[in-house]
Amino acid sequence: MFDPAQAHDTGVAITTSAPGMITLRGALEDTAFKAAVEEVSGLTVPEPREIVQSGEHRLAWMGPDEALLILPRDALCDTLAALETALKGHHALVADMSDARRLFHLTGPDAALRDTLARLCPVDMRAFQLGEIRRTRLAQIAAAFWMGEEGRLNLICFRSVAQYAEDLLSDAAGKGVVLH
Amino acid sequence: MLILTCPCCGVSGEETEFHGGGEAHLTREGPGADDAALEGYLFHRENPRGVHFERWRHVYGCGKWFHAARDTATLEVFGVYPAQTTSPPEDLLAVIREKRPGWTWRGLS
Ligand SMILES: [Zn+2]
């Protein structure tokens, strides 16, 4: 039986934020597409399963023809317009996905963060690297997560299932669920 | 446990991160096909105990389709290869011949 008095505090805190998120579709290895994205975002187009960061801007590899640009909300409109202009004539798509997704931040001891996701995702969290982005299954939903620095794990999922994700994460990160 | 490595993003994930898309390399018979060919396309599938070729989608990952050759009995994966092909690559067939002498699958052996 679970006894709350015997519970451990894992030290994991969960917060959310609502940055701008722009989905880019196009051939990520195409030189012209790359140049246009790099010029506007100021970031190098990432290698497969990599996420790169500069200040408040992040660019994530989501698939061979998909990248996700995460940026402050107040830079969203200008960046969308600049990307549309830079990619004019290319076989590419720029879509504002800011309201389609929810971003969670889990902070706490590194081992506790890895344990939290290991309970929910079929991923070897011991081998998970800083700067890597992993799209996978979070219990019954699709999610993607990365660690830009030790002690802080970021996770995105669709907004329509954000409550489910929040409940799952809270449960898995909460008191009394320490894995030994 | 079935572990697949997606050739589109390089992730090695367990089966629940993927979605099976059925038998690989079917010819999509359409208008003009004779009755037997259409019936075969619609209804006849291989169901081997051993070497099998399938389509899979990395549904919780990069979202891409690919092909996989595996043993249905042992869950050993012989290899994965791009979706944009109508037959398995020769080097993969060589690997399977090495590991499962005498195997057959439709017209392949
Ligand atoms: Zn993949």
Which residues of chain A does B66 touch, with a Cβ-Cβ cutoff of 8 Å? none
d(CA A170, CA A162): 12
Cα distance from A7 to chain B (closest Cα, Å)? Answer: 31
Sign of CA dihedral A106, A174, A121, A159: negative
d(CA A44, CA A110): 27
Classify residue A55 by its DSSP letter: T
Which residues of chain B does A155 touch, with a Cβ-Cβ cutoff of 8 Å? none
Residue A7: the pLDDT is: 46
Classify domain A11-16+100-172 at the CATH topology level. Answer: Gyrase A; domain 2 (3.30.1360)
The beta-carbon neighbor of B17 closest among A48, A62, A136 is: A136
In a domain, B106, yes or no: no
Which residues of chain A does B62 touch, with a Cβ-Cβ cutoff of 8 Å? 62-64, 66, 135
State pLDDT tens for residues B2-14: 999 999 999 999 9
What CATH number did the domain enclosing B71 receive? 3.30.2270.10
Classify residue B108 by its DSSP letter: B
Q: Structure pTM?
A: 0.91
Q: Which of these, A53, A68, A78, lies nearest to A148 by C-alpha position?
A: A53
d(CA B83, CA B60): 17
The beta-carbon neighbor of A49 closest among B11, B16, B60 is: B11
The beta-carbon neighbor of B8 closest among A64, A137, A142 is: A64
d(CA A161, CA A23): 19
Kindly determine whether residue B61 and residue A64, on different chains, have CB atoms separated by under 8 Å: no
Cα distance from A62 to chain B (closest Cα, Å)? Answer: 6
- Whether B3 contacts chain A with CB within 8 A: no
Residue A1: the pLDDT is: 47
Parse chain A into domains and list their residue ranges: 11-16+100-172, 19-96
**Chain A residues within 8 Å of chain B (Cβ atoms):** 48-49, 62-64, 66, 122-123, 134-137, 142
Kindly determine whether residue B64 and residue A142, on different chains, have CB atoms separated by under 8 Å: no
- Whether B60 contacts chain A with CB within 8 A: yes
Give me the average pLDDT of each 10-residue run along chain A (180 residues).
54 93 96 95 96 96 97 97 96 97 95 95 96 97 96 97 94 63
Residues 6+ apart with CB under 8 A from A78: none
Q: ipTM, 2 decimals? A: 0.88
State pLDDT tens for residues A39-80: 999 999 999 999 999 999 999 999 999 999 999 999 999 999
d(CA A39, CA A83): 9
- A 10 A CB-CB count for A149 gives 10
Kindly determine whether residue B61 and residue A135, on different chains, have CB atoms separated by under 8 Å: yes
The token pair at A53 is: 């960061």
Which amino acid, one-letter code, is at A156?
A: I
% chain B with pLDDT above 90: 98
The token pair at A154 is: 């970021």
Give the total residue count for chain A: 180
Range of the domain at B89: 3-25+46-99
Residue A175: the pLDDT is: 61
Buried b (16+ CB within 10 A) or exposed e, B64-79: bbbbbbbbeeeeeebb
The token pair at A39 is: 């010029």
Residue A179: the pLDDT is: 44
In a domain, B70, yes or no: yes
Domain A19-96: give its CATH superfamily. Answer: Heterotetrameric sarcosine oxidase (3.30.70.1520)
Residue A178: the pLDDT is: 45
What is the distance, to the nearest Å, from the Cα of residue A96 to the centroid of all Cα atoms in its chain? 16
Number of domains into which chain B is organized: 1
Which residues of chain B does A49 touch, with a Cβ-Cβ cutoff of 8 Å? 9-11
Q: Which of these, B72, B75, B58, lies nearest to B11 by C-alpha position?
A: B58
Average pLDDT, stretch B45-73?
97
Nearest CA in chain B to A67: B62
Residue A10: the pLDDT is: 81
In a domain, B108, yes or no: no
